[in-house]
Amino acid sequence: MTTYEELRASKLEKLTKLREKGINPFPYQYIRTHTANEIKEKFNSLQNGEETQVNAKVCGKVMGVRGFGKLAFIDLWDDSGKIQVQLKTGTTPEHAFELMGLMDAGDYAGAEGKIIRTQRGELSILAENIQVLSKSIAPLPDKWHGISDIEARYRQRYLDLAMNPDVKKVFVGRAKIIQSVRKVLDNQGFIEVEVPTLQPQYGGANARPFTTHSNALEEELYLNISPELYLKRLTMGNMEKVYTITKNFRNEDIDKTHNPEFTTMECYWAYADYNDMMELMEEIFREACMAVHGNEQFTYQGKEIDLSQKWERLPMKKAIQKYADIDVDSLTDTQMLELIAKSGKKMENPKLRGLIINELFEAVAEHHLIQPTHLMDHPYETTPLCKEHRTEKGLIERFESFINGWEMCNAYSELNDALKQRELLEKQAKEGRAKGEEMPVDEDFLKAMEYGMPPTGGLGIGIDRMCMLLLDQPTIRDVIFFPQMRNK
C-alpha cells in the first residue's frame, strides 16, 4: 500500500512539473458560468448521447480522475453538487490531457466546454480546456467513515465536508433553522441586538465562567454565560421586544448535548408573561421544522415527533406524579433523596427542598417527555430571576419545554421587583450555586432595575440542541462545525 508520505511526495512532484511548464498552480480568479446544480436543472431533458452547443465554465474540487484510452473523466464538486468533466481525444486538446495527468483528488480545477449527456446518461462538460486552480499537496483519505474516524472528522471538519456531502446538508439545515428563528421574531416586531461577550460580571445562569484578563483595563473579565441580564437592561430602557442569537461560554462538562461554547437565542417581551412565551416557543419550533422538513412532523433517531398539535402543559409536581406515581408533597426531603439515589443519581449539597424536587423530576420523569411538553410551575428555589406563581404558593412562573426527553428552552414571567430581586440574588450568592461555587451579585443590574422594569416574558432556546433534534443528529458535535476537542 502506498504510504501517506509517498502520496504527498508524488503531489509535490506534480506541483514542481506544473511550474516547470510555466503554469501557475494558484491563479487569482476563475470566471464560472454555471454551477453543477444549474446544469442539472436546465439540461435535465437531454437524452443519452445528446450534445448541446451551450458552452459552460465550471469549477470545483477534484474528487476523482480516471482515464480509459481515448476518454478521461474528472469529477468536480462545487457548492451545489457534482459535475463530470469528459476529456475526449479529437475534441479536447492534447495539452489538457497532459494537464489532467498532473491533477489529483483534492485539487481545485476549472473546465470549459459544451454541455452534453454521455452515452451512459451522465450530464457532463465535454472539455475544450481545463485549468488547475489550486494544487493540493496532502492526499485525501481513501475512506472517511466508520467509528474509528469519528474524532478525526470533528478535528478536520474540512475533510469531513469534502468527503461526506451529507455533512454539508446538516449545516445548511442549521442555517435554515437559525434563519427561521429570526424570521418568526422579526415578523413579531422583535429587534435583534448584541450584548457583550466580555463582561465585568457574569450572571443570568447557574454556571462556571471562563475567566480572562484585560491588560488595558487591568482587571478580570468573563466570557458571557448568558445574555439575560443585558437583554433585561434593554427592556428597562423601553425596548419592548428584543432578542439576540449569540455564543455562550460555560466552563463545564462536554458530552452528547453539551459543548463549552454554544449558541442560544434569548428574547424578552415587555408586557407578556410565560403563557405568551409558550405560544412563541411553539411557533418558533413549528416554523423551524417547516424550514427543514416542509411539514410539522419529523423523526429523531426513530422516534416520530409531532409539532402540529398544542403542546401539553404539565406542572413539575404533576409530571412526577404522572410518570413515577410519586406525591412529592407527602414526602420528606430525606425520602426524596432516597428515591433519587435509587434512580442511580447522586445530588450534591442537597440543601433546598425545591432543588431536591427538581432533581427528583430529572431522575424519574424527564426521560418520559418525548412529545413536545411545556414543563411548568417549578419550585421557587430553582431560579432567583422569576416571578412567584400568581396562584400557587412556593412555585414560580417558569417553564422548560421538553422534546425527546431533552430540555429545549427555559422561560419565565420575569421578576421585575427590584427589592425582591436583590433579596433573591444576595441569597443565591450566600448559599452558593454552580456546584457550590460563588455566584456573585451583579450590582449594576440591580441598580438598573431600580429605575423600573415592565412586566416581561423571557425565553431562551439552545440552538445547537434544537438543530440536533430537527436534523436527526446523535451528538452536539455533529451540528457544530468546530466542536471543542481535547488537545492530542
Angle at 461 between CA 456 and CA 463, to 5 degrees: 150
pLDDT at 488 over 90: no
CA distance 44 to 395: 62
CB 78 within 8 A of CB 60: yes
pLDDT at 376 over 80: yes
Which pLDDT score, from 0 to 100, does residue 351 have? 75
- Identity of residue 236: M
Average pLDDT, whole number, for the chain?
94
Angle at 406 between CA 404 and CA 412, to 5 degrees: 125
Read off the pLDDT of each residue in 374-390 and give the average, rounded to a whole number. Answer: 95
Read off the pLDDT of each residue in 271-288 and give the average, rounded to a whole number. Answer: 98
Number of H helices, E strands in the chain: 14, 19
Question: What tens digit of pLDDT does each residue of 232-247 get?
Answer: 999 999 999 999 999 9
Q: What grid cell was written down for 438? A: 460563588
Which pLDDT score, from 0 to 100, does residue 439 have? 73
Question: What tens digit of pLDDT does each residue of 393-446 get?
Answer: 999 999 999 999 999 999 999 999 999 999 998 888 877 654 455 678 899 999
Question: What is the set of domains in the chain, with CATH numbers?
Answer: 4-134 (2.40.50.140), 163-311+372-479 (3.30.930.10)
Q: How confident is the model at residue 144 (pLDDT cuts 50, 70, 90)?
A: very low
DSSP state at residue 46? P
Which pLDDT score, from 0 to 100, does residue 432 have? 61
DSSP reduced 3-state for 192: strand
Q: What grid cell was written down for 67? A: 482515464
CA distance 241 to 188: 9
φ, ψ (nearest 5 deg) of residue 149: -105, 0
Q: How confident is the model at residue 146 (pLDDT cuts 50, 70, 90)?
A: very low
- Among the listed ranges 125-134, 197-206, 354-363, 473-482, which one has the minimum average pLDDT value? 197-206
User: Which helix (H) or strand (E) is 314 found in, with range?
Assistant: strand 312-315
Read off the pLDDT of each residue in 368-397 and give the average, rounded to a whole number. Answer: 96
Which pLDDT score, from 0 to 100, does residue 122 have? 96
| Other Cβ atoms within 10 Å of 189 Cβ, number | 9
DSSP reduced 3-state for 48: coil
